[in-house]
Amino acid sequence: MPHHPARAYRVLQMLAVALIALTCSAPRVLAEDATASRSELIRSLLPTVVNIAVRKDVVTKVNTASAVASTANSGEVKAYVGSGFVIDPSGLIVTNYHVVENAFEITVTLSDGTLLPGKLVHASRLADLAIVQVQAGYPLKPVQWGDSNKLRVGDQVFAIGNPLGLGTSVTGGIVSGLNRDAEESPYDDFIQTDAAINHGNSGGPLFDMEGKVVGVDSAMVSPTESFSGLGLAIPSADARFVIDRLIKYGWIRPGWVGVKVQQVTREIAEAMGQSQPVGSLVSWVLPDSPGSKAGLAIGDLILKYGDDTPTDERALLRDIGQTDVGTTVNLTVLRGGQQRTIPVTVEAWPRKRWEERDAPTAAVEPDAKIPPNLGLTLASIQKAQRAKLNLEDGVEGVLITSVKAGSDAARRGAVAGDVILRVQDKPVSTPAEVQNAITAAREDKRLFVLMLVLPKVQTLPGPRWVTLRLKEGVG
């Protein structure tokens, strides 16, 4: 068979071009696969995240990432939104404490739009974590926990939450800092991320790229009311410790040594004759505390806690707090220029003393007893009043002449001068008809009664539907 060098050369050229094309397209294919895989992962996690809406009397700190959604006309009650995530199929949800602090009403929205009433079951003010229970009637999808101790600056993460009350949203970024101190508590250990965390993200999960929760989104640092590239999350290692203790004991039940320590600064190190600022300096030892019994003294420089070398006094306090009660730990201390080992048996914080610092504040609930008329004083509308009340011909109603302070009606913005047009599905024209409809709703064991109200002050023309609580003891 004859040999054709030119033809063979052209064949080699074609093969080379094909190989180059395959080589160039491979990264694009891999990138597309990675993007599709990430999208599938995120979609699979959406059912684990919930939106939380609360009504409360107390305004939370402005640097937190919860959002004011609306304000009642009375100015006494505000509605806030936040986020949370499911940790148990039975309906246990984790969020930030500041989201539900002082809330007398908690509403949880699942990813499919289902609305469920929530009940605060456990909380820690210092850790800024809370556990809310919902009853869905079927198992909910829980998150998987990740190990925040393995995080490194530059790792990719993404947050899912309810920013600004817009609904479930996903933002991505990297870990931009670790062990941040926001001066919220003596134990601060925040993850810093540039994944956008805005008002309303509070309590939502921070995921790693395996879809595991490595943090609880808690705050943003910004000179304005909006995100500026600095978001903070509680590490999952800290959050899991707190949550597990709350579920098991009803409080954190932290380890306690009974000493006050402070970080060694360069100035303190210089004054002590140290070349570098290391360790935590004991500034006080409580009488009859584990530290006192072990022989710790004011002026001791704690260098090591067991096998751990805490990076600062916050890390030392976390080590102590997370130590099982009854454990004996060897502390390496520097005293008088000499290192020595002091064994300390960790005890539980005296509960009363701890709860003075950490117990959740009680929600300010509406009146314990709801008056039969829901706190409304009503009157029939006289013919001479119809024009002033902007009632069209043929439209009947009942005039609200006063609203009891502190009642649910007042909290929801009812004022004297409003006109009730319907209660549930029935038009009303006399106070007796309103009362009968309220009584019927109670007898049907409803939690709320629905009213069509023509407001005295209208931001938009026409009446609007409002709900008032009927359940006794809740307001």
Per-residue pLDDT of 192-229, as tens digits, reads 998 888 888 899 999 999 999 999 998 877 666 666 67
Tokens of 176: 């931009």
Tokens of 452: 């069509």
Question: Residues 418, 284: one domain?
Answer: no
Residue 62 confidence (pLDDT) above 60? no
The one-letter amino acid at 303: L
The pLDDT, as a whole number, for residue 364 is 47
The pLDDT, as a whole number, for residue 82 is 93
Average pLDDT score over residue span 348-366: 74
d(CA 403, CA 413): 10
On whether the CB atoms of residues 45 and 207 are closer than 8 A, the answer is yes
Give the domain CATH number at 173.
2.40.10.120
CA 356 to chain centre: 22
Would the CA dihedral through 313, 311, 318, 59 be positive or negative?
A: positive
Which of 249, 280, 314 is a domain's end point?
249
Alpha carbon distances (Å) from 66 to 54, 71, 114, 122, 466: 10, 14, 21, 19, 25
d(CA 141, CA 137): 13
In this predicted model, what pLDDT tens digit does every residue of 371-427 receive, in sequence order? 566 888 898 888 878 778 777 777 788 999 888 887 788 888 888 889 999 998 889
369, part of any domain: no
Question: Residues 195, 65: one domain?
Answer: yes
Question: Residues 343, 381: one domain?
Answer: no
Question: Residues 78, 222: one domain?
Answer: yes
Which of 249, 284, 302 is a domain's end point?
249
Listed residue (143, 70, 142) closest to 105, CA to CA: 70
- Phi and psi for 370 in degrees, rounded to 5? -90, 125
H or E segment at 27? helix 5-45
The DSSP symbol for 376 reads E
Active site residues: 98, 128, 202
d(CA 284, CA 145): 37
Residue 254 confidence (pLDDT) above 60? yes
Task: Using DSSP, state whether 278 is helix, strand or coil.
Answer: coil
CA 231 to chain centre: 13
d(CA 148, CA 180): 14
Find the DSSP H helices in 132-262. 236-249
Average pLDDT score over residue span 231-241: 93
Question: Residues 239, 286: one domain?
Answer: no
Question: Residues 72, 171: one domain?
Answer: yes
61, part of any domain: yes
The pLDDT, as a whole number, for residue 319 is 93
The one-letter amino acid at 200: G
The pLDDT, as a whole number, for residue 30 is 55
Give the domain CATH number at 279.
2.30.42.10
Question: Residues 261, 245: one domain?
Answer: no
The DSSP symbol for 62 reads T
287, part of any domain: yes
CA 133 to chain centre: 14
16, part of any domain: no
In this predicted model, what pLDDT tens digit does every residue of 1-21 receive, in sequence order? 455 556 665 655 665 555 555
**Chain position carrying tokens 């395959």:** 22
Question: Residues 103, 194: one domain?
Answer: yes
Residue 459's domain spans which residues? 376-469
Question: Residues 203, 113: one domain?
Answer: yes
The pTM assigned to this predicted structure is: 0.71
160, part of any domain: yes
**Chain position carrying tokens 């071009």:** 17
14, part of any domain: no
- β pairing state of 92-95 and 259-263: unpaired
Q: What is the largest CA-CA distance in the chain?
A: 115
Residues 6+ positions from 74 with CB-CB distance below 8 Å: 410, 411, 413
In this predicted model, what pLDDT tens digit does every residue of 88-110 receive, in sequence order? 999 999 999 999 998 888 999 99
How many domains, in total, are found in the chain? 3
CA atoms within 13 A on the CB side of 252: 32
Alpha carbon distances (Å) from 60 to 53, 127, 133, 432: 14, 15, 22, 41
Question: Residues 189, 61: one domain?
Answer: yes
| Cβ neighbours, 10 Å, residue 316 | 24
Find the range with the poorest average confidence among 192-206, 238-252, 359-373.
Answer: 359-373
- Phi and psi for 31 in degrees, rounded to 5? -65, -40
Tokens of 362: 């009680």
Residues 6+ positions from 14 with CB-CB distance below 8 Å: none
Question: Residues 294, 384: one domain?
Answer: no
Which of 331, 348, 365 is a domain's end point?
348
**Chain position carrying tokens 């601060």:** 188
224, part of any domain: yes
19, part of any domain: no
Question: Residues 148, 222: one domain?
Answer: yes
